[in-house]
């Protein structure tokens, strides 16, 4: 009876030992997987914290670079001289119209505004008389017939006011300016840089004299 009990006890212990032995590989595998997961989790958290720790430093470097760039731009701006307006400087206000430069530099030049909405500015000065070659005998009436000596002298007076040569002028219109001894002409250079209106007056026994120059905003072919 005792031998039988002893034999069964040994068999039970052997079976339990065998079952435990079978479980060891599975437990070892599970432990390995858990270890890998734990290590991966630790590495991930470490990288995330490192990245978060670097962001403020990178932002600070970017802010520093921006501040330095702004300071450099401000220093460069301080080096540039500021242009001061010259109250004595006058301009006929026709950009690129080089022929008007001598007019703008002459003494006695006056530039005024006009009530005419198409006139940018009015220029007046003491232009010289263009001497006539005609014998008028003290009696003269302006002729607007092209090719006549009177018409040629009238054109010459207009050119003298705007400083344009025969080869670089377009006469858009020439006509009466409200009296038998007064004429007006609308002209431009051949590039049509701008349009000018010249008022001319006849001076007895002397010739034609420009008396006013108007800088037009738009071309006017008659008045």
- If one compares 208 and 80, the residue with the highest pLDDT of the two is 208
Same structural domain for residues 44 and 106?
A: no
Q: What confidence tier does 200 reach under pLDDT thresholds 50, 70, 90? A: very high
The C-alpha atoms of residue 81 and residue 70 are separated, in whole angstroms, by 19
Same structural domain for residues 139 and 63?
A: no
- Asked if 145 and 155 count as a contact pair (C-beta separation under 8 A), the reply is no
Q: Is the pLDDT of residue 196 over 90?
A: yes
CA distances for 205 relative to 2, 67, 217, angstroms: 169, 77, 36
Residue 91 lies in a domain: no
Phi, psi (5° rounding) for residue 208? -90, 140
pLDDT number for residue 214: 93
DSSP H helices, 80-220, are 101-105, 149-162
Q: Could you give the number of structural domains in the chain?
A: 2
Residue 84 lies in a domain: no
Same structural domain for residues 26 and 58?
A: yes
- If one compares 13 and 146, the residue with the highest pLDDT of the two is 146
Same structural domain for residues 105 and 210?
A: yes
Say whether 192 sits in a helix, a strand or coil.
Answer: coil
Same structural domain for residues 139 and 42?
A: no
Residue 89 lies in a domain: no
Same structural domain for residues 111 and 41?
A: no
5 token code pair:
């009990």
Same structural domain for residues 153 and 198?
A: yes
The C-alpha atoms of residue 100 and residue 161 are separated, in whole angstroms, by 9
Average the pLDDT over 84-113 and give the result. Answer: 67
Residues in contact with 42: Cβ distance below 8 Å, sequence separation at least 6, in sequence order: none
Compute CA 27 distance to the chain's CA centroid, rounded to the nearest angstrom: 78
Same structural domain for residues 16 and 52?
A: yes
Same structural domain for residues 18 and 112?
A: no
Residue 167 lies in a domain: yes
Q: Is the pLDDT of residue 27 over 80?
A: no
Q: Look up the pTM and report it.
A: 0.58
Lowest-confidence region among 18-22, 44-48, 49-53: 49-53
Which residue spans within the chain are E strands per DSSP?
A: 110-112, 119-124, 130-131, 170-179, 182-188, 195-203, 207-216
Residue 147 domain boundaries: 98-216
Same structural domain for residues 103 and 158?
A: yes
Residue 124 lies in a domain: yes
Q: What confidence tier does 37 reach under pLDDT thresholds 50, 70, 90? A: confident
Residue 7 lies in a domain: yes
- Rank 48-57, 131-140, 182-191 by mean pLDDT and report only the highest: 182-191
Last residue of a domain, one of 46, 76, 106: 76
pLDDT number for residue 43: 73
Arithmetic mean of pLDDT over the chain: 76
CA distances for 160 relative to 9, 169, 174, angstroms: 140, 11, 15
Residue 183 lies in a domain: yes
């Amino acid at each position: 009876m005792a031998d039988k009990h002893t034999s069964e006890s040994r068999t039970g212990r052997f079976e339990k030992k065998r079952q435990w032995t079978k479980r060891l590989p599975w437990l070892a595998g599970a432990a390995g997987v858990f270890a890998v997961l734990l290590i991966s989790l630790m590495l991930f958290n470490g990288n995330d914290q490192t990245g978060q720790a670097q962001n403020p430093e990178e932002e600070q470097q970017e802010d520093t670079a921006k501040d330095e760039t702004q300071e450099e731009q401000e220093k460069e701006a301080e080096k540039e001289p500021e242009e001061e307006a010259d109250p004595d400087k006058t301009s006929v206000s026709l950009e690129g119209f080089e022929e008007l430069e001598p007019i703008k530099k002459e003494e006695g030049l006056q530039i005024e505004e006009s009530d005419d909405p198409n006139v940018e500015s009015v220029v007046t000065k003491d232009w010289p008389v263009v001497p006539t070659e005609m014998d008028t005998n003290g009696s003269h009436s302006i002729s607007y017939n092209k090719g006549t000596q009177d018409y040629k002298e009238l054109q010459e007076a207009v050119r003298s006011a705007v400083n344009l040569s025969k080869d670089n002028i377009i006469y858009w219109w020439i006509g009466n300016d409200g009296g038998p001894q007064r004429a007006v002409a609308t002209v431009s250079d051949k590039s049509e840089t701008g349009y000018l209106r010249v008022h001319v007056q006849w001076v007895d026994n002397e010739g034609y004299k420009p008396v006013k120059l108007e800088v037009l905003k738009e071309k006017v072919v008659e008045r």
